[in-house]
Structure 1
Amino acid sequence: MINTFQTSLAPQPPPPVPPRHHNGSHPILIPTHLPSQSHSKSVLHFLVGMVLLHLFLSIGGFIYLSFKMNYIFLQEKQQPYPAQEFLPVANMQKGQLQEKPTKAFARMLVLQPSVTQIPNQGYLLWDKSHSDLSNISLLHKSSRLEILKPGKYHVYSKVTFSKSDSKRPLASKVMLRKSEVDEEKPVMMAYCSLDSHKVSFPNMCTAMQGEILTLEKGNQLSIWVQDTALVDYEEGATTFGIYEL
């Protein structure tokens, strides 16, 4: 008899058993889809746009601040400062403005005496039209300077002699009179001498002096010489100055 339960095919081995994990859990694989190419381009375009927008905003802000600062600088430059327009200083006690006080000074140039003037009167005259005066007055036929502000002053004189005196040395004295009723007295003096043997050039000498004096209001100063005819009256040769310290 023919056995119908047998086949010519060889028996097949059983399927392999999947490996087991030590913790007993099985990984669950979730199928995912890769992002499309169009979606990646959109994200890239968005990022590039944000960077460009930030760059434009930064440049625009910088330009705006630059114009703003230049405008403010020009506005402040065009506005005058009160301290540059005038020189008054504030009086904090009275709440008013008063001008800065001017220093008293006098720079005098000698005035040549006229032909009708007695040459040996002794006091030099000063040319007011060619001299500088501030808070000091010229009195007594242009021979005395009157102090109007009390204080310490630098007093100087320069007297140049072109002729000698055979009996006395050439002298220059600064005379002080405290008031009209007081007697004057010398407070400064200087001497010089001429060499009568040198005849190849003009014979001259200069008596110069300078002191710091404390003067009161109403004091009067003058320059005395023994003979005004011996003085050299060339411009700048004989001067008299008083400067408040």
Structure 2
Amino acid sequence: MQPYRGRAARGAAPGPAGFGCPKDQPGRHVRPVPLPPVQQNLNYCPQIFWVDGCAEAGPPGPPAPPGAPFPPPVPDRSRKPRAGRERSVGFLVMFLLILVAFTGVGLSILKIFHLEKEVDELRESASAEHTAPASQKLTGQKEQPLRREARKAAHLTGNPAQQDLPLEWEPISGHAYTSGIQYQDRGLLVSEPGLYFVYSKVLFRGSTCDSQLLAHVVYKRNPASPGSLVLMEDKAINFCTGQRMWARNSYLGAVFKLRKMDSLHVNVSKIALVNFEESKTFFGLFKL
């Protein structure tokens, strides 16, 4: 590097030895001043020149590159951090465990539902087996499902508007009713064969006793058979004495095996001697 030669400012006062010397003094030469060794980490190294015994700072040079005896290693970016991979694997394992747990719970609930349905079916079948009537179990007959049907029955009461025989009855008013049995042609028509309990009650009464015959008869008819068949009968003679009022009850009742289309009727010896109050004279039957 060439030494710098310049002039000091005119009129400048001389400074201390080696510094601030005027540059217009002839015969003075500029020589560089050796500097102490500079630290490697300094970014800027100024140059100082000595001009005829005066120290003068040279123009600033370009900044020196930072000293770095060993540059830091460049990280390898082609490899992913190991901690990130381990975290993603942990999340995946946790998600799979939760999925397996929920699947197991769903299967358990479905299995419990099917078991409850099977238990209900078994209970229904067991209850159906034990609903057969006790009479069927005692007689050894085949058990059948319980039928909730109205029992076939009828109860007729006396009707005062009588004209001729057989007796005419009241089928619907008061205590009278019919269920599965028809009241037709002054009699009860059987629509289903089987065992029936048949009953009839008549109250006879009079103001004077004349010792006449009293008769009370229950009989049946069927279109397949000619004529009529007597089922029950009651007769009375000498049931009163003297010239005074009298009364006599006649009750008939028994079990009969009736066929389909059998019709049952009631006859008496004399209509004028019958008391037709509904609690004193009636007629009916019911299926066993």
Letter in 2 for 1:105: A
Q: Distance in 1 between matches of 2:167 and 2:224?
A: 19
- Could you tell me which residue of structure 2 aligns to residue 4 of structure 1? none
User: Counterparts of 1:101 and 1:161 in 2: how far apart (Å)?
Assistant: 38
Between the aligned partners of 1:181 and 1:153, the Cα distance in structure 2 is 20
How far apart are residue 162 of structure 1 and its match? 1.0
Q: 1:173 aligns with which of 211, 214, 217?
A: 217
Of 171, 194, 200, the match for 1:151:
194
Match of 2:148 among 71, 78, 100: 100
Match of 1:203 in 2: 246
Give the drift of 1:99: 5.9
Corresponding letter in the other structure for 2:197: H
Indicate the residue corresponding to 2:159 in structure 1.
111
For 2:259, give the aligned amino acid. Answer: E
- CA shift at 1:213, angstroms? 0.2
Ranges in structure 2 where 5+ consecutive residues have no aligned partner: 1-123, 125-130, 132-144
1:205 deviates by 0.1
Gaps of 5+ in 1: 1-81, 83-88, 90-96
Q: TM-score, normalised by structure 2?
A: 0.45
Task: Say what the alpha-carbon RMSD is for the aligned residues.
Answer: 2.7
* Cα distance, 1:233 vs structure 2: 1.4
1:212–1:181 CA distance, 2 compared to 1 (3 A): closer
Q: State the partner residue of 1:232.
A: 275
State whether residues 159 and 231 of structure 1, in contact with CA within 8 Å, keep that contact through their aligned partners in structure 2: yes
Quote the Cα distance in structure 2 between the aligned partners of 1:138 and 1:145: 5
| Corresponding residue SS for 2:226 | coil
Q: What's 1:212 paired with?
A: 255
Tell me whether 1:138 sits opposite 2:183 in the alignment. yes
Higher RCO (CA-CA < 8 Å; seq separation 6+): 1
The Cα offsets for residues 63-119 of structure 1, whole Å up to 9 and x where unpaired, read as: xxxxxxxxxxxxxxxxxxx9xxxxxx9xxxxxxx996222111111011125xx3xx
Equivalent in the alignment of 2:226 = 182
TM-score (norm 1): 0.52
CA distance in 2, matches of 1:216, 1:230: 33
- Which moves more between the two structures, 129-138 or 189-198? 189-198
Equivalent residue letter for 2:181: I
Q: What's the offset of the Cα at 1:149?
A: 1.3
What SS class does the counterpart of residue 161 from structure 1 fall into?
strand
Provide the rounded CA distance (Å) in 1 between the counterparts of 2:278 and 2:232. Answer: 23
Correspondence for 2:235 among 191, 194, 198: 191
State the shift of 1:195 in Å.
1.1
